[in-house]
Amino acid sequence: MTTFPYDGRFTVHRRLPEHGTPRPEVLEALRTMAVEEDATWESGKCSGTMYCGDHEHYRFMNEAFGLFAHVNVLQRDMCPSATKFESEIIAMSLDLLHAEAVTSGEPVGLVATGGTGSICHAMLAYREYAAAERGVRRPNVIKPETGHPAFDKACHLFGIELRVAPVDPVTTLVDTDWVDRHIDGDTVAIIGSACNYGYGTVDPIDRMSEIALRHGVGLHVDGCLGGFILPFGQELGYDVPVFDYRLPGVTSISADTHKYGYAFKGTSVLTFRDKAIRNAQYFFLSGWSGGKYCSPGMEGSRSGGLIAATWAAMVQLGREGYRQYARAIFETAATMQRSVLSHPELRILGSPTFLFSFTSDEFDIYHVNDFMRERGWRFNGQQYPNALHMAVTRPQTQDGVAAAFDGDLTDAVAYARAHAGDAPRSGAIYGGVAGGLTDEADEFIKMVMGEMMDAQQAIPADA
């Protein structure tokens, strides 16, 4: 893996330069890197990652961001606009998720830094709420095996026992009977995905709602990926099951504005059925010598730029704009899925939506990945079983991309059949990094992360 491709091309700074670099020179270097890196996804051959891909939209948001980038939203007396932006982002998200169906409680939310931030805040809120209301001291939550690893991270950080429910190998959906049997007096919440990252399938949230109500536990719906596109899929008539506040057992939903909300990376909305759960995770310290400290979330200082840009994106696009993009994405996803199904050697896992995963029982699917990489495609690899994942975004809706996928996939299947007896070169790591790992994965991943973080130290001193 190339951890530092700019070796020898740009000045390596090992210390703060004595004299500043002229602004035009700095900007020229940044433009060069940006243009070269954008080329990796502008072709439409990159799964997920770049959800919008519209440079005009980025320029619009950059202008909104720049007006408030220097503002710290902690100081609301100095920037009351942040209160407007944040509260309206939350209100628009609640409207999209049918909070009007809530008849008891007061729907609220908060803006977090991303999907992991939303999930961590949700798990912290359930832990604190159950401790205060039920006296739970050894909390546990139950998630499907397909649930995002951010739940594992949150439970690790907050001392919550995580119980992992199996999924049906055919449908990829959580075994709700298993969930029902493993809830106990210390369970603070159960989790369902709409949709899950791996397969693009939506867990049976209606059944989970019934289970949560019967046991008196929370139900968090992870809509980080689907929260800003599945509602429009429903409006367009696609077979998307209800997963939101129309189900009475759903008590919180996370939805990433920086994915199909087409905002900049760094924002997500976490909504709650009732403010009592959200308020449980507030932190305050009234006896500090520096004054009374309070924080509505885990972050302290935050830039007003991201909140302003997110608000700008949402109000500029409106429901019509989001619906238009959703239509193109769902249609493209259906076209690409038909291409996969046209090959008897391939099969799609579960009944997906705008995102799909496919595998093969005839050969290792990573042979397909190896070939498609040579054609410029960047899929996300999966394991148990080995599979390739394609999250369709706006770049794939460009003219000719779905047709290129169809032709390249035909050639890739022929290559995979011819090399069925060989070991593939690529493997499965979240984010598309090649590996091919089993039990030794932990140490290898530590090494990869270390190389990415420490690449600067690896550059020769005379570079």
For residue 112, the tally of other CB atoms under 10 A from its CB is: 26
The answer to the question of residue 123 being in a domain is yes
What 3-state DSSP class applies to 94? helix
pTM for this structure?
A: 0.92
The answer to the question of residue 9 being in a domain is no
39 vs 31, 60, 127, 164, 432, CA distance in Å? 12, 20, 44, 39, 17
Domain ranges, residue 390: 319-446
Domain shared by 206 and 354, yes or no: no
pLDDT given at position 447: 59
Domain boundary among 313, 345, 367: 313
Sign of the four-CA dihedral 130, 134, 136, 142: negative
Domain shared by 126 and 85, yes or no: yes
The answer to the question of residue 15 being in a domain is no
DSSP summary character for residue 397: G
Domain shared by 230 and 281, yes or no: yes
Helix H or strand E segment including 28: helix 23-42
Per-state percent for the chain, helix, strand, coil, to nearest 5: 45, 15, 45
Domain shared by 335 and 293, yes or no: no
Domain shared by 195 and 109, yes or no: yes
pLDDT given at position 449: 53
Domain shared by 294 and 325, yes or no: no
Mean pLDDT, consecutive 10-residue segments, the chain of 463 residues?
A: 72 92 96 94 95 97 97 86 96 98 96 97 98 98 98 98 97 98 98 97 98 98 98 97 98 98 97 96 89 84 94 98 98 98 98 97 96 95 94 98 98 97 77 48 60 55 44
User: Which CATH number covers residue 335?
Assistant: 3.90.1150.10
Among candidate residues 458, 337, 457, the one with its CA nearest the CA of residue 409: 337
The answer to the question of residue 361 being in a domain is yes
The answer to the question of residue 183 being in a domain is yes
- Residues in Cβ contact with 261 at an 8 Å cutoff, skipping those fewer than 6 apart: 227, 228, 255, 267, 310, 313, 314
Which amino acid, residue 293?
Y
pLDDT given at position 402: 98
- Residues in Cβ contact with 270 at an 8 Å cutoff, skipping those fewer than 6 apart: 109, 110, 111, 112, 117, 118, 121, 122, 252, 253, 254, 278
The answer to the question of residue 40 being in a domain is no
Domain shared by 257 and 329, yes or no: no
pLDDT given at position 258: 97
pLDDT given at position 448: 58
Domain shared by 251 and 333, yes or no: no
pLDDT given at position 450: 63
The total number of structural domains in the chain stands at 2
Contact 416, 345 (CB under 8 A): yes
The answer to the question of residue 50 being in a domain is no
User: Which CATH number covers residue 293?
Assistant: 3.40.640.10
Domain shared by 261 and 193, yes or no: yes
pLDDT given at position 437: 47
Contact 312, 68 (CB under 8 A): no
The answer to the question of residue 55 being in a domain is no
Q: What does the alpha-carbon distance between residue 311 and residue 79 come to, in Å, rounded to a whole number?
A: 15
